[in-house]
Amino acid sequence: MHQGIAFRTAYLVTGSAEDAEEAVTSGFLKAYRAIGRFRRGKPFRPWLLAIVMNEARNRRRSSARREHLALRAAEERRPGDAAPSPEAAILEDERRRALLDAVGRLPEEQRLAVVCRFFLDLGEAETADVLGVRKGTVKSRLSRGLERIRKELPDDA
Amino acid sequence: MRDLERELRELSSAIMVPPTPDLAGAAHIRLGATRPAASWPRRPVVLALVVAIVLVAGLAVSPARTAILRFFGIGAVQIEFVDRLPAVEPSVPLALGNKIDPSKAPFPILRSDLLGDPDAVYARGEVVTLLYGSPDRVRLLVTEIGHSVLAPELAKKIVAATTNTRFVDIPGSTGPGIWIEGAPHIVVLADAPPRLVGNTLVWVQEGRTLRIEGAAELDDALRIAKSMR
């Protein structure tokens, strides 16, 4: 459902369920009003996500607080899997926390490219449509973003 | 060296994202309930939101599974966009239901100041039709459905993706209306057989879903729509 991915998009950008809900609501409303500008034959999802993404960015910018994304509890993430040792689980959580923080510190353009490609699992073309840039720009933003994360996070972190 | 891209993809499933709020469901409930007078100004927004969400939900239907490219609702009417119109009998006789005394309609019907009294009124279940002209020479049909909650079993339109459709503002209407023009599209009202129709305007007003069939131009349809009360 577009509603699900729209909310996920808005939440990953704002870090707040309330802001995300507002972003999706006003984004859908804007999409509805602008449906006449939607070009037939073009995929609908990136067009809608671009509007929602924009709403979410505006809300994040205007919000005084910086919400941080949280990780789910380790046991929720591994239904049915063999549980790692407590030490391994702690290390894994630390690494993930550090990774998430590093993504959060990226400049907005790079962060949104990472969110689209890796957290929303959009293809390069779709990411480009959502962000309103060329595919080459997506590639360079991702490359610079990943480079920055690598510098912040040593392999053994 | 760690595969950072793989790590980021795995991280995605570990991020705690709250469940998606049921925006469409909540809005539908609000729309279906009788609202206190003080809160009525919110209704257009709520309706537009419902329409938008239904639209968006409709687009999620996989074209691989069905020929429906997308659908959405204006009030009770479901509008489906398809690659190609299914075949229908070219000369289906009008099946508007039983001729009724307008005062016996299943709900208080709206009338057009501009058009005056219709030549006949028909009811087929909850679908009431005001006929201008005669069944053999129809000048105009105004269809009224007594509510504004999506009910494809009562009213469905099937429109080729290439047919022109546009959203229009109608004073007095709850949310925007839709104007379908150009190539004929299919309408299915209550249990009447599908038939091909021309330009149509659909909108929601005072808790009813209204449609005008037979106006040649949008301006004509809008003038009639504005005159309904």
Domains contained in chain A, number: 2
Regarding whether A89 and A23 lie in a shared domain, the answer is no
Per-residue pLDDT, B170: 87
B186 contact A CB<8A: no
Sign of CA dihedral A128, A131, A132, A137: negative
A114 contact B CB<8A: yes
- Asked if pLDDT for residue A68 goes beyond 70, the answer is yes
Regarding whether A90 and A150 lie in a shared domain, the answer is yes
Q: What angle do CA B219, B223, B225 make, to 5 degrees?
A: 115
- Asked if pLDDT for residue A55 goes beyond 80, the answer is yes
- The minimum CA-CA distance between B55 and chain A, rounded to whole Å, is 8
CB atoms within 10 A of CB B7: 16
Domain boundary pick from A42, A68, A94: A68
On the 0-12 / 13-18 / 19+ scale of CB atoms within 10 A, B106 is: middle
The first and second tokens of residue A46, run together, are 């990136």
Regarding whether A89 and A61 lie in a shared domain, the answer is no
> What does the pLDDT look like over A80-135, one tens digit per residue?
555 667 777 777 788 888 999 999 999 999 999 999 999 999 999 999 999 999 99
- Mean pLDDT of the B60-76 span: 56
pLDDT band at B57 (very low <50, low <70, confident <90, very high): very low
Regarding whether A61 and A93 lie in a shared domain, the answer is no
- Asked if pLDDT for residue B183 goes beyond 90, the answer is no
Domain membership of residue A32 (yes or no) is yes
Regarding whether A64 and A91 lie in a shared domain, the answer is no
Domain membership of residue A120 (yes or no) is yes
A80 contact B CB<8A: no
- Residues in A touching B167 (Cβ below 8 Å): 32-33, 35-36
> What does the pLDDT look like over B81-138, one tens digit per residue?
877 788 888 777 888 999 999 999 999 999 998 899 999 999 998 899 999 988 888 8
Domain membership of residue A100 (yes or no) is yes
Regarding whether A96 and A64 lie in a shared domain, the answer is no
> What does the pLDDT look like over B163-181, one tens digit per residue?
888 888 888 787 788 899 9
pLDDT band at B30 (very low <50, low <70, confident <90, very high): very low
Regarding whether A5 and A54 lie in a shared domain, the answer is yes
Regarding whether A113 and A55 lie in a shared domain, the answer is no
Regarding whether A52 and A117 lie in a shared domain, the answer is no
Candidates B23, B55, B176; nearest CB to A24: B23
Domain membership of residue A78 (yes or no) is no
Question: Inter-chain contact B11–A121, Cβ cutoff 8 Å?
Answer: no
Is residue A9 within 8 Å of residue A49, measured between CB atoms? yes
The domain spanning residue A101 has which CATH number?
1.10.10.10
Domain membership of residue A73 (yes or no) is no
Domain membership of residue A76 (yes or no) is no
Domain membership of residue A123 (yes or no) is yes
Regarding whether A103 and A59 lie in a shared domain, the answer is no
Domain boundary pick from A43, A68, A93: A68
Sign of CA dihedral A90, A92, A93, A99: positive
Domain membership of residue A18 (yes or no) is yes
The residue segments making up the domain with residue A40 are 1-68
Regarding whether A88 and A64 lie in a shared domain, the answer is no
- Residues facing B195 on adjacent strands: B187
Regarding whether A155 and A87 lie in a shared domain, the answer is yes
Tell me the percentage of chain B whose pLDDT exceeds 70. Answer: 77
Q: Name residues whose C-beta falls within 8 Å of residue B105's C-beta, 6 or more positions apart in sequence.
A: B121, B123, B128, B144
Q: Which ipTM score applies to this complex? A: 0.85
Per-residue pLDDT, A156: 52
